Structure 1
């Protein structure tokens, strides 16, 4: 048993598919959602008084997780950036190549910009990143 406050920074699997990237790479984000424990399960395990707070992701976030690139979709055209997002490694290489092609096409034809272009100017993005805090 722990004493004092406990904080867990995690991804809420129920929110993963709400990110624009799901339109282009559904198997990657499905994999990510399956790998994350449910927030309710973490809260139950921690016990005590539990709060769950969304954690805004800053536009200049340098951590290599998918939502860190919310307003910089070109990052997904860089193999090193894609490799930094571990969920991508759970799909076949051919699938990864096809998915990167979808993103490249959406950027080239302007469809990404038309639907999500405002994210380029956003200071932060509130996605699936949450802080679970328990106090006993």
Structure 2
């Protein structure tokens, strides 16, 4: 039987703010947010042997498995950056997925739940449409708060992230009675996907406005609040103070900053 979905709930107008935000900050995602193969492998492992996937909050399609049958994304700017061979995409919200009950094996959400207006409603919708499994790629807020960039240079961005970050306890509460598997995903030093902590060993990258534009916790923070910390980071790099302070990091190839896969068996 083919995929059953309906289009009467695909209008994203119910949350115009979400759409506007990503229509602005999502413009450079195709350049700065390229899927890293090691993270992709971790997501595939979490998905297991499912044969059909809906990608919720799909963005430009990073980490979208080949067996994706539908991508759901509220921002037209993000949809326009998807590759021609990518799965069909509809403009809709996580809280109102345009799929019938139990239409797919799995529902996938990659670095997106922190943008949802109602996380519990979005996860409920994922459970409604999935037969076997939910998979999230997200982060532990208490760990990312200790990332050197946020802790030591950009406290305003740390505060902005804390306002939207979703604790794993919130995910667990939305799937009562289901078994949840959490696996840490360390960030490679040469990560090709420019999300928040991707440049942990390449600090100069955070001085690049295009890089910052692709990191939502920085792009959504008042730029004036970032200026003092970024200026200090620039000075510390020029004086070698950063290299001295964080010398231990330079010996690592990967760093656990709290990113993880969360798989929920239904």
Normalised by the length of structure 1, the TM-score is 0.89
Computed over aligned residues only, the root mean square deviation of the Cα atoms, in angstroms, reads: 1.6
**1:17 alignment counterpart:** 145
Is the aligned partner of 1:78 residue 2:208? yes
The separation in 2 between residues aligned to 1:123 and 1:32, in whole angstroms, is 25
**2:66 alignment counterpart:** none
- 1:110-136 superposed Cα distances (whole Å, 9 cap, x missing partner): 221122133234211111211111113
Please, which runs of 5 or more residues in structure 2 have no aligned partner? 1-127
The separation in 2 between residues aligned to 1:92 and 1:65, in whole angstroms, is 18
**2:223 alignment counterpart:** 93
The separation in 2 between residues aligned to 1:30 and 1:62, in whole angstroms, is 26
The separation in 1 between residues aligned to 2:173 and 2:224, in whole angstroms, is 40
Structure 1 residue 26, shift from structure 2 partner: 0.9
Check conservation: 2:156, 2:226, Cα contact below 8 A. no
The separation in 2 between residues aligned to 1:6 and 1:128, in whole angstroms, is 19
Partner-residue secondary structure (3-state), 1:131: strand
Please, which runs of 5 or more residues in structure 1 have no aligned partner? none
The separation in 2 between residues aligned to 1:84 and 1:23, in whole angstroms, is 21
Of 111-120 and 41-50, more deviation after overlay is shown by: 111-120
Partner-residue secondary structure (3-state), 1:14: helix
**2:134 alignment counterpart:** 6
Normalised by the length of structure 2, the TM-score is 0.48
Q: Higher relative contact order at CA 8 Å, sep ≥6: structure 1 or structure 2? A: 1
**2:162 alignment counterpart:** 33
The structure that has the greater radius of gyration is 2
Check conservation: 1:7, 1:134, Cα contact below 8 A. yes
**1:112 alignment counterpart:** 242
Partner-residue secondary structure (3-state), 1:18: coil
Check conservation: 2:147, 2:257, Cα contact below 8 A. yes
Check conservation: 2:133, 2:263, Cα contact below 8 A. yes
User: Which has the larger helix fraction?
Assistant: 1
The separation in 1 between residues aligned to 2:259 and 2:224, in whole angstroms, is 29
